[in-house]
């Protein structure tokens, strides 16, 4: 199969596609030939799309579902620096939610953005589980508390910390999911050390993009820790065989708005 599809009328033979190719497999064009990937190198292409993304005239397209090609509008995605700075600084971990469910269509739009997160070798190993039913989210929180009970008086690092959480839960306070209406779980293949980082990168994309959709998020560390070792949680979440949780995140519509920016530790940079 031809790796690249090139429109000879649009190609200016500028050589950029060859220069930016992450794997160095694109032969540059000359006066008589268009850029191409030789058959002997085709297997090395990781379908990252660098060549396609950087082509000034959009003359080139990677032959990977070419019918799904979406043109990037001129100027799209350009954000003023001040707006970007404020947007990222406003990002907060949300622990108070309204009980209005987030429409599934909006969640799918958000996760679609995360498909473009960086991944090692463009492996794109992340798959998602969305717990949309609030009752099921509560059940997962309940199973997390059950896991915590097994840590009491053990040598686990959280042993001295969990009694307070268990007590709060038994008093009716959801310290696990904060009464969030939804839960997001990223899963990755077992035995793939690179995918561990890929999962966090993809989840971070969701975390950063969520406020633009009116969605608040909070990384669910207790659930992640519990699920890594709790079979009941793994079964409740329906994690497929051969996969494991990368991390979890609670989300929903924030109950409160952001009006100010808190302080952070001073920037510390070491120049070499």
Q: How far apart are CA 108 and CA 30, in angstroms?
A: 43
Please check whether residues 93 and 63 belong to one and the same domain. Answer: no
Q: How far is CA 223 from CA 24, 176, 219, 242, 250, in A?
A: 42, 7, 9, 20, 10
Average pLDDT estimate for 63-83: 89
* pLDDT recorded at residue 31: 85
Q: Any residues with CB less than 8 A from the CB of 1 and at least 6 apart, and which?
A: 42, 63
Q: Is residue 238 part of a domain?
A: yes
Please check whether residues 124 and 248 belong to one and the same domain. Answer: yes
Q: How far apart are CA 59 and CA 36, in angstroms?
A: 12
Residue 2 has pLDDT above 90, yes or no: no
Q: Is residue 196 part of a domain?
A: yes
Q: What is the C-alpha R_g of the chain?
A: 23
Q: Which structural domain range is residue 176 located in?
A: 85-252
Please check whether residues 59 and 117 belong to one and the same domain. Answer: no
Alpha carbons within 13 A on the beta-carbon side of 204? 10
Question: Each residue of 80-97: pLDDT tens digit?
Answer: 999 999 999 999 999 999
Q: Is residue 206 part of a domain?
A: yes
Residues of 91-113 as b/e, b for ≥16 C-beta within 10 angstroms?
A: eeebbebeeeebeeeebeebbeb
Please check whether residues 146 and 223 belong to one and the same domain. Answer: yes
Question: Each residue of 186-224: pLDDT tens digit?
Answer: 999 999 999 999 999 999 999 999 999 999 999 999 999
Please check whether residues 213 and 125 belong to one and the same domain. Answer: yes
- Residue 124: pLDDT band (50, 70, 90) is very high
Q: How far apart are CA 247 and CA 167, in angstroms?
A: 25
Residue 1 has pLDDT above 80, yes or no: no
* pLDDT recorded at residue 144: 98
Question: Where do the DSSP E strands lie in 42-141?
Answer: 60-62, 127-131
Question: Each residue of 3-57: pLDDT tens digit?
Answer: 899 999 999 999 999 999 989 999 999 888 999 999 999 899 999 998 999 999 9
Are 216 and 237 within 8 A, CB to CB? Answer: no
* Torsion angles phi and psi, residue 234, rounded to 5: -60, -40
Q: Domain count of the chain?
A: 2
Residue 118 has pLDDT above 80, yes or no: yes
């Amino acid at each position: 199969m031809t790796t690249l599809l090139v429109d000879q009328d649009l190609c200016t033979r500028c050589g950029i596609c060859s220069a930016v190719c992450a794997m160095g497999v694109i032969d540059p064009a000359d006066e008589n030939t268009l850029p191409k990937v030789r058959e002997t190198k085709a297997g090395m292409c990781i379908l990252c799309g660098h060549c396609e993304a950087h082509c000034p005239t959009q003359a080139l397209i990677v032959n990977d579902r070419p019918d799904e090609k979406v043109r990037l509008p001129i100027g799209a995605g350009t954000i003023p620096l001040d707006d970007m700075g404020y947007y990222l600084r406003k990002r907060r971990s949300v622990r108070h939610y309204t009980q209005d469910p987030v429409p599934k269509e909006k969640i799918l739009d958000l996760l679609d953005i995360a498909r473009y997160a960086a991944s090692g070798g463009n492996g794109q190993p992340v798959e998602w589980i969305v717990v949309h039913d609030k009752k099921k989210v509560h059940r997962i929180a309940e199973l997390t508390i059950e896991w915590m009970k097994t840590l009491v008086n053990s040598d686990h690092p959280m042993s001295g910390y969990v009694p307070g959480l268990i007590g709060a839960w038994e008093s009716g306070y959801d310290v696990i999911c904060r009464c969030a209406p939804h839960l997001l779980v990223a899963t990755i293949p077992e035995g793939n050390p690179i995918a561990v980082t890929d999962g966090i990168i993809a989840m971070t994309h969701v975390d950063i993009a969520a406020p633009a959709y009116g969605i608040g998020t909070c990384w669910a560390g207790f659930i992640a820790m519990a699920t890594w070792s709790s079979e009941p949680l793994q079964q409740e979440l329906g994690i497929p065989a051969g996969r494991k949780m990368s991390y979890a995140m609670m989300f929903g519509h924030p109950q409160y708005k952001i009006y100010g920016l808190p302080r952070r530790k001073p920037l510390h940079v070491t120049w070499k």
